[in-house]
Structure 1
Amino acid sequence: MTPADQPSQTASTPTMAQLNRTTHPAPEYPEKILQFGTGVLLRGLPDYLVQKANAEGRFNGSIVVVKSTDSQTDEFAKQDNLYTVVVRGIQQGQEVAENTIVSAVSRVLAAQTQWQQILTIARNPNLQIVISNTTEVGLDYVEESIFQHPPQSFPGKLTAFLYERFRSVGGAKGKGLVVIPTELVTDNGLKLRGAVEKLAQFNELGKLFTKWLKFHVRFCNSLVDRIVTRPADAEAQQKLQQALGYEDDLLTLTEPYHLWAIEGDERVKETLTFVDPASSAIIIDEDILFYRERKLRVLNGTHTFATPMGYLLGLETVADEMQHPTMSRFVERLMLEEIVPTVPAYETPGMDKAAIKQFAYDVLDRFRNPHLDHLLLNISLQQSAKMQARNVATLQRYYEQFKAAPTFMTLGFAAYLLFMKAVREEDGRYVGEIATGGGVITYPIRDEKAKYFYDRWQQVTPTDAATVRQLVVSVCADDELWGIDLSLLPDFVDRVTEQLTSLLTEGIEPTLAKAVQ
């Protein structure tokens, strides 16, 4: 019987056992970590690392998870809070395949219906650490009473929890906690501390609590770097489950590379015993700026310069870019020749130029990972803000170092301008078009500056070099958009205009091929 003749199966295959503590017995540990968030990033990085530490006898603790978005915890309960992290990808040119059943989660509680139980955890003498991953806006201050059940915001929930902790331990200094937010916000620990302190003041929680908060609760800035997803669809889920031999509705797919940089002192190091001192994957340092800059410029900055070009070529994912011979060459040369030399380095081993270059090679391996569907259209979300945050400083540093306009960054910037060319507005949304051999592909321009670019492109005739140049000049000179006047960078406008004109008149592929030859 051919595959087409076989009866179809759903992702839930009745012939396989369900993953749980009956089918897969696992040890239980005292609850040492409270975690706000149930998402795949937390499951595939902090929780995975705690699991590894437990298996090696370095932590011997479990995680209580708080779910804030709704009260549904059935997925976890059905599996006794077990799930599998499936690692697939390329590392140093070698294929990596690893499956780890994570049993480090003890309970998953819903804030909406089990808030009193969550507050009870504050009295647990074993509790040491709080981890979070809400959303980028999840760390914002919301003026509210922390005595609601539950408070609305994450900082409100955390303040209520810390206040309950303070009252239960009588303000004992040895019972403070280490708080590590992992939200993708610069200085996330400082931002969260500021919100908690403001809430303590608004709720009149008293000077003794404020003092305990200041001296005995350590908020750590942190940076997480790992691509973690769910299987792409039901078919991919079923295939992985068949390989594992059991059903797992929480199956988590991730790449081999991972980094968690935590800003902390000796007290933090003493508390985070799940950290292997010999590992370079978890770093505790009093200053993590190097790691943040390296990721922002090399990984994120390359994405932002390359994504518009890749998408205009008709590619869908980062892996597609790396399989395209011309596009992959563009990505490699952009990263290694123009971005890597500009990243600030230190003389300390692990934070020097060699470490930056090795990180770049690791990133290229990650980009080539065929197991992760990292969609270019998703990366293009708020492209203008990302271009400013990730790449303006890189451009400035390149000019300072090389005294010339960069070839690949100017081409990436030109492709970004073309990507932002909307052909029409539909109910306040702006739509771009790509002409292909098989017709026309439309795509949404999900960017706060979509109207800004739509209006400027209305004045452009693609075959009229003067109108193309005027577009480039007006956009580059907008210091409100970029924080500086990019038109003052020598030859930048000329090179971007030249590249954009070529993209418009000669096409994407010929322009790209000419640049990387």
Structure 2
Amino acid sequence: MPDARPVTVVQSSGDAQRAARLQALAEGYEVRIRGLRQGRPVEETCRVTSIARGLIFGPDLAEVQRLVAEEADMILSNTGDAGFGPQVADAGRCLDPAMSYPAKLAYLLRARFEQGGRAVQVLPTELLRGNGTALRDLVLAAAEGMDRDYRDWLRAEVVWVNSLVDRIVSEPLYPAGAIAEPYALWAIEAQPGLRLPCQHPAVQVVPDLGVIERRKLFVLNLGHSWMVAEWLARGRRDAEHVREVMADPDWAARLRTVFAEEVLPGFVAAGEGAGLEDYIETTLERFSNPFLDHRLADIAQNHAQKLERRIAAFLGWAEANGDGRAKPRLRAALQGEIG
């Protein structure tokens, strides 16, 4: 892509043991695409060469500070859920590698502001609803004791972008790379001043990220958790991977019934039914991918919390939008009564 910008990866936890992975990323790595696209097998290999270098937060702290203050055009993040969580070190008076990501960002951006640098775009990809807005608020909270002019700059000049990344990555490659499905989406919510990191068919600017978030959460994620609820009720028998659920005609048919009779009506009632049947079919094809080892045991981690976020939240949303259907299969999964 001729407009692609060079990327510096910063390993923010400061784990020096991952230095070999950082070096491998900068040397170029492979992403192997394996799966189904409109029913046809796909097997492709892409070589990624956009990463120019890797730094470790801690040993390379001075260079990270200089880079953010003087060179960075955009700041992207993928710290995982734990990265946004508060840390004891956040109460400190200077930049500390033990701080949470929002607190680190508050100190790094202050140096840019003090040097008169132009405002930067911050584009998180963490799986958190309204992730750009949420990160802005956390950074402002971390900067509470700093100069008012700086906090005003953070609030009014820095561009905080909401986005959602959707692709199943089933297996890492070593020393760097991954195996992933053909489906890919990076949805970015439109706003004034937005600049895209690159041009790619999977990168889509949308007026309202909420519609896409609800589809992912209440179709793909909900479907995963419904599968796991039945798998747990079976005593963790009869399947190990998502693809094996889809290979079982009776199990797959029950999932289709959940989508058709309980999920789809909720979206229709909310006025978001257009195109949803196609999205459901795409989701079922993704679930059927014969090449991805997507383990039910992995999806089952934090199952109770996922049931609340995915199934209970959907039931409440659907009812609030006028869908009064009983939805017995989803309620059974929520109550652990599938059988």
Question: With structure 1 as the length reference, what TM-score do the two structures score?
Answer: 0.59
Output aligned runs, 1:342-381, within 5 Å.
Answer: 342-343=266-267, 353-381=273-301
Tell me, yes or no, if the aligned pair for 1:297 and 1:343 is still in contact at 8 Å. no
Q: Tell me by how many angstroms 1:183 deviates.
A: 1.3
Q: d(CA) in 2 for partners of 1:342 and 1:387?
A: 17
Residue aligned with 1:118, SS: helix
Q: Tell me by how many angstroms 1:263 deviates.
A: 2.4
In structure 2, the partner of 1:133 is: 78
Note if 1:262 corresponds to 2:188.
yes
Specify the code of the residue in structure 1 equivalent to 2:257: R
Output aligned runs, 1:497-516, within 5 Å.
Answer: 503=339
Tell me, yes or no, if the aligned pair for 2:4 and 2:50 is still in contact at 8 Å. no
Residue aligned with 1:265, SS: coil
Select 2:158's aligned residue among 217, 224, 227: 217
- Structure 1: 4+ residue segments shifted above 6 A: none
Q: Tell me by how many angstroms 1:341 deviates.
A: 2.4
In structure 2, the partner of 1:64 is: 8
**CA, structure 1 residues 399+194, in 2 after alignment: closer, same or farther (shift >3 Å)?**
closer
Specify the code of the residue in structure 1 equivalent to 2:262: E
Q: Tell me by how many angstroms 1:215 deviates.
A: 1.6
**CA, structure 1 residues 407+199, in 2 after alignment: closer, same or farther (shift >3 Å)?**
closer
**Gaps spanning 5+ residues in structure 1: where?**
1-53, 232-236, 238-247, 418-499, 504-517
Specify the code of the residue in structure 1 equivalent to 2:169: V
Q: d(CA) in 2 for partners of 1:146 and 1:284?
A: 38
Q: d(CA) in 1 for partners of 2:30 and 2:97?
A: 31
Select 1:306's aligned residue among 227, 236, 241: 227
**CA, structure 1 residues 109+410, in 2 after alignment: closer, same or farther (shift >3 Å)?**
same
Q: d(CA) in 2 for partners of 1:219 and 1:136?
A: 18
CA deviation profile, 1:472-494 (whole Å, cap 9, x unmatched):
xxxxxxxxxxxxxxxxxxxxxxx
Residue aligned with 1:256, SS: coil
Output aligned runs, 1:425-504, within 5 Å.
Answer: 503=339
Output aligned runs, 1:130-209, within 5 Å.
Answer: 130-142=75-87, 143-145=90-92, 147-150=94-97, 152-168=99-115, 170=116, 175-202=118-145, 204=146, 206-209=147-150
Tell me, yes or no, if the aligned pair for 1:399 and 1:405 is still in contact at 8 Å. no
CA RMSD of aligned residues (A): 2.5
Tell me, yes or no, if the aligned pair for 2:12 and 2:97 is still in contact at 8 Å. no
Q: d(CA) in 2 for partners of 1:383 and 1:79?
A: 33
**Gaps spanning 5+ residues in structure 2: where?**
none
**CA, structure 1 residues 264+321, in 2 after alignment: closer, same or farther (shift >3 Å)?**
same
Residue aligned with 1:377, SS: helix
CA deviation profile, 1:313-361 (whole Å, cap 9, x unmatched):
42111111001111111112212332122126887xxxx5232221111
Q: d(CA) in 1 for partners of 2:25 and 2:296?
A: 34
Q: Which has the higher contact order (CA 8 A, sep 6+)?
A: 2
In structure 2, the partner of 1:230 is: 171
Q: d(CA) in 1 for partners of 2:42 and 2:160?
A: 35
In structure 1, the partner of 2:246 is: 322
In structure 2, the partner of 1:100 is: 46
CA deviation profile, 1:202-242 (whole Å, cap 9, x unmatched):
3x2x12211221121111222211111325xxxxx6xxxxx
CA deviation profile, 1:183-209 (whole Å, cap 9, x unmatched):
11222222211121122223x2x1221
Tell me, yes or no, if the aligned pair for 2:122 and 2:160 is still in contact at 8 Å. yes
Specify the code of the residue in structure 2 equivalent to 1:331: L
**CA, structure 1 residues 398+273, in 2 after alignment: closer, same or farther (shift >3 Å)?**
same
Q: Tell me by how many angstroms 1:79 deviates.
A: 6.4
Q: d(CA) in 1 for partners of 2:264 and 2:137?
A: 34
* Structure with bigger gyration radius: 1
Residues matched between the structures, number: 331
Q: Tell me by how many angstroms 1:252 deviates.
A: 0.7
Q: Tell me by how many angstroms 1:410 deviates.
A: 4.2
Tell me, yes or no, if the aligned pair for 2:225 and 2:300 is still in contact at 8 Å. yes
Note if 1:336 corresponds to 2:260.
yes
Residue aligned with 1:124, SS: helix
In structure 2, the partner of 1:472 is: none
Q: d(CA) in 1 for partners of 2:79 and 2:130?
A: 15
CA deviation profile, 1:418-439 (whole Å, cap 9, x unmatched):
xxxxxxxxxxxxxxxxxxxxxx
**CA, structure 1 residues 383+227, in 2 after alignment: closer, same or farther (shift >3 Å)?**
same
Q: Tell me by how many angstroms 1:403 deviates.
A: 4.5
Residue aligned with 2:277, SS: helix
Q: d(CA) in 2 for partners of 1:211 and 1:64?
A: 28
Q: d(CA) in 2 for partners of 1:182 and 1:128?
A: 17
Output aligned runs, 1:273-288, within 5 Å.
Answer: 274-276=198-200, 279=201, 281-288=202-209
Q: d(CA) in 1 for partners of 2:192 and 2:48?
A: 28
Residue aligned with 2:70, SS: coil
Q: Tell me by how many angstroms 1:290 deviates.
A: 0.4
Residue aligned with 2:91, SS: coil
**CA, structure 1 residues 146+366, in 2 after alignment: closer, same or farther (shift >3 Å)?**
farther
Residue aligned with 2:264, SS: helix
Q: d(CA) in 2 for partners of 1:136 and 1:265?
A: 25
Residue aligned with 1:253, SS: strand
Specify the code of the residue in structure 1 equivalent to 2:68: A
Residue aligned with 2:53, SS: strand
Q: Tell me by how many angstroms 1:373 deviates.
A: 1.4
Q: d(CA) in 2 for partners of 1:263 and 1:76?
A: 30
Residue aligned with 2:175, SS: coil
Q: d(CA) in 2 for partners of 1:117 and 1:80?
A: 16
Residue aligned with 1:266, SS: coil
